[in-house]
Chains A and B, each alone.
Chain A
């Protein structure tokens, strides 16, 4: 293996607490993190080091589970165990709380912006997925509540180009949703994982979806046109990565620039997989390109590729730390 993950920087981001999630701004210059200390922190590069630019406190009463940047980079959404989603607006170099989206019965586990920036999806332990519409006056309106899962919904993610939404759940399934007559409907249920599906990531084209699970595997799903009816979609599992992960895989991230696939695992490791370019597109082969077994001293919760700088990867852990890595490929 000539590729390697080199540590660029390590930050104590959420002291005395866990860091649940990190997210790069669309320009790749800022990194937002959130954690059990109920706070959101914004990090930026200064010279060789990374410094905390802002701390967003008092927005949430409990753990902040995930954060998401709007495609324009001017808004930040945060999902919290306090059953709310907060929208923050960037003003000069500061963030102010714009609005609080309420409605979920209990913990909101994830929030994601659609590529257009006009739609927002949230999901919760209350088993539902909500889609919100944003207008020019920054008003948010819930347009749909979908109850396709039988258990908590852990994650939602939008297709990179289309208005297509995917969700992952404690019920071991993945659901794919599309809008139909002003209503969002589940168009496909992806079954195959043996335990909770923790996270999802589309490939750069959006034709494939990677999922990771408590069953210690990563699966790659591919979209096929469905013969049975127009508009319906069919997703098939074309590859399962098993045997690599020692415990629950908490996150998976597909790099839009390089196509590398990174995972965050409960065995404290960060791993990067590459696809064999020669392999059959219907039976792709992924191999482990690099791994750091003790990337953190505790569970790794999240991995995120920088959207502009190829190979730059952020990870975060239960010990409250963020690490920034450089994935160096074979020359």
Chain B
């Protein structure tokens, strides 16, 4: 102990007189390790603590405080008590000592054994003796941190101080300027408010001392080391100001005042603060400020040119109205909601009667914002405005006025939808349902297309109001929609009508089953020639247009199973009549019928019921029709069945694959085995109209393309099934597909066979059997490719690329062998360009096979992986390739990079930039175009590497402005446009050059090019120009 005592004394001596700061650490270690106690340290410090020299005393206290920072956790209650008494006393000492005293107290406040009463006495001394704002920044933070610690641990004691605590705090933070300390001070103020400290008579003082920072105007210094943002300060201060209704009488006038500011950000902050505070307030807090608030909100929404301000203003109005709606009505209190809404209505309602003036929209938006706040508000507002809107509509004759009125109505209906979402009450529009319906129906009969379009969306909104429309209204609506479908020529109107029919059919299927579908069917199957032989070609054309609209309407309304059961037979009948020739449907119409079936397969609900419909009826019927057509033979294009046309077949594939991908497992398994037995064994037993010959061999048709191309339907059945479905006779199937894809000469057939093969390979389980299958196929493919005289090199290449894709998607280890083969083909004289384009297929999503919705095994980020494994190969290959082959490499590169996600492009760009810039100067237009399209998105948020290469980039882009190809000119101008958003100081040196280069394309012979040039040049003019950027 004696030895320790000596060691301690020498430590103290070295720290205090020797000014060796490191000794504080040693002393702390000593206390922590139990070599001596804190009180022994105080004893050892004795002389320095009582020295007549303030600096010696300061040094002494400093040592003690620093040790406490490390050891406050080990102190006993008694020690804490003694130390606090000591420090409190020192607060009155010389100012050079104060910082160390505060540091020591800060440590002690963190102690868990703070004796009762000490927090209060500590704070009393602090508030009494220390003018906080005369301290340095860091020392002030000690004070704030002490308060925060004590508020966490000694809330009850602090509250015992009563309003003195708040007063002390107010004095302490008054005048604070440092943003770091402000965050602490706002936190304390927020605690005071949220934890209900007694504000006593100091409510206004607390408000004043914090609200003087409102609105926050703070720009962090460049390279800000503290990372404090303006937004953090705004949020912290907003929490304080909006924390208590006690501030209402001060805050609301302040908001009204600041809203008058010229600074946009101040307005925005004020509006958001208003929105936040009213959620805490009651109506009586607002009462005396309602007029002022309303005047400010109205002014902002009426006058602003900023969408942000407008939307913040409307949100504030909704919040305000919501607050007033919470007031409980009783007989003797004034209805403040009604009073307020009277103000709003008084200023806004009359503008709704001026549908051609500017203020109609701001007024409507304000009323709708109020309307959406509560059910009561929506009743008051709609009761006041709807009659006059309805009256206006009938008295106005101009279409543009009527349309505006209808749009205003639409927004009202929608705003009420928001407010009623949780309540199952009847619609507030119930009283107006008949006039509203009349208005919509009258608009639907107008000849003005935009009026009709608006009417359809109002109709959709009305239908979504619970219990608003009667059955008779729906029937009338269906009649109107049907009439428009059959007669309206304007595409935009038809589109809107179809959309509206879809929405209504979801809610009211019955009327569509009984009225719309039979009427559409009748129309589609009526032959114009039969009715009247003297019809003009234009009428024939319009009959075709009607059919097309009917087909898309049938799809749109088919969401409920009951509708699907009625609509799909009609579509299938279109296909079979087209096949038999009993009704004259064009190839285009047959394709549309398939698209409609596909759309139905995608959108139907209740997969059980509708799944059966697809499985039992639709798929067999499609296969049967296609097979009948195929067996009829090829003939000349005029007399053969439209169902053998490639476009029709390609449209049938997604109907089958979409429905198969959504089938229940048992049904899916059945479909698989039926399809396999049809294609391998010629089993036609499940097909309707079973009058087929025996011994059909669809996969062994070298000569008949009409039969061999049926393989694409096999792909539809097999390649979209869930992985769990067992594929029967899979080895035989794969072997026949491989054979077909390598030998058949019909492009659709061998491509579909290759895709089907790839689709199956992608889902085969890992293992030796898959590996040997791949190796066998690879061998065959390579031997064909390596033989330059082979007649089936293209077929072999097609199989290679699809299998490569199938394996790449699932990260199969053998995929590398296949993709390496692809890279080597870039040097091939015959297939080089095809191989380069193949990389686009490899990297993009394929629609009919090998995608996630068809349950293919697609690993995330396979593109990135492929890219990172192969980019070096590509660069090497490029460098080694002879000049005339280089474009293939560039094209392959741009195809790959083009499909990478943007983040990857940005990180990989530096390594590839020189190659991409090279690609821009490559004479191949395809390469130019592909490279430009991969550059454009990257330019929006340019990585540093790109900025460093600005000179080269600008020169090459400028050179491409003169390209003979219009698309290249357009794409390069878009890139130059995007460059204008680079950091101004980087691009300013190029401004004159770019503006000069952009002058000739203003006179381009193509309007599309001129328009891009105009936009790019306009933006470049603004670069570095006042009011620009």
| Residues in chain A within 8 A of chain B (CB atoms) | 15-16
Contacts and interface: CB of A to CB of B under 8 A. Distances in A.
A16 B999 CA distance: 10
B992 interface: yes
B533 interface: no
Nearest to B996: A16
B995 interface: yes
A15 B996 CA distance: 9
A237 B305 CA distance: 55
A318 B909 CA distance: 43
Contacts, number: 4
B1024 to A, nearest CB: 14
A15 B997 CA distance: 12
A91 B897 CA distance: 61
A16 B996 CA distance: 7
- A-B pairs with the 4 shortest C-beta distances? A16-B992, A16-B996, A16-B995, A15-B996
Nearest to B992: A16
Contacts of B996: 15-16
4 contacts: A15-B996, A16-B992, A16-B995, A16-B996
Nearest to A37: B992
Contacts of B995: 16
Nearest to B995: A16
Contacts of B992: 16
A16 B992 CA distance: 7
A16 B995 CA distance: 9
Interface in B563-594: none
A15 B992 CA distance: 10
Q: Is the interface of B mostly helix, strand, loop or mixed?
A: helix
A16 B1020 CA distance: 14
A43 B995 CA distance: 27
A16 B1021 CA distance: 13
Contacts of A16: 992, 995-996
B289 to A, nearest CB: 49
Interface of B: 992, 995-996
A15 B999 CA distance: 13
A238 to B, nearest CB: 44
B992 to A, nearest CB: 5
B212 to A, nearest CB: 43
Contacts of A15: 996
Nearest to A17: B992
A195 B996 CA distance: 34
B638 to A, nearest CB: 58
A292 B628 CA distance: 78
Nearest to B991: A16
A152 B691 CA distance: 98
A16 B997 CA distance: 10
B1000 to A, nearest CB: 12
B1025 to A, nearest CB: 15
Nearest to B999: A16
B999 to A, nearest CB: 9
A285 B996 CA distance: 45
B160 to A, nearest CB: 70
B1026 to A, nearest CB: 14
A15 B995 CA distance: 12
A43 B744 CA distance: 77
A25 B249 CA distance: 79
B73 to A, nearest CB: 69
A16 B998 CA distance: 12
A319 to B, nearest CB: 10
B250 to A, nearest CB: 50
B125 to A, nearest CB: 64
A297 to B, nearest CB: 11
B386 to A, nearest CB: 59
A161 to B, nearest CB: 45
A15 B993 CA distance: 10
B108 to A, nearest CB: 66
B851 to A, nearest CB: 52
Nearest to A15: B996
Nearest to B993: A16
A272 B337 CA distance: 82
B991 to A, nearest CB: 10
A52 to B, nearest CB: 18
A127 to B, nearest CB: 27
B1017 to A, nearest CB: 13
A57 to B, nearest CB: 15
A296 to B, nearest CB: 16
A63 to B, nearest CB: 16
B1002 to A, nearest CB: 14
B1020 to A, nearest CB: 13
A16 B994 CA distance: 11
A318 to B, nearest CB: 13
A216 B1017 CA distance: 33
A111 B992 CA distance: 30
A109 B992 CA distance: 26
B990 to A, nearest CB: 12
A24 B323 CA distance: 80
A200 B992 CA distance: 35
A18 to B, nearest CB: 14
B1021 to A, nearest CB: 12
A320 to B, nearest CB: 10
A124 B275 CA distance: 56
A131 B996 CA distance: 40
A240 B992 CA distance: 43
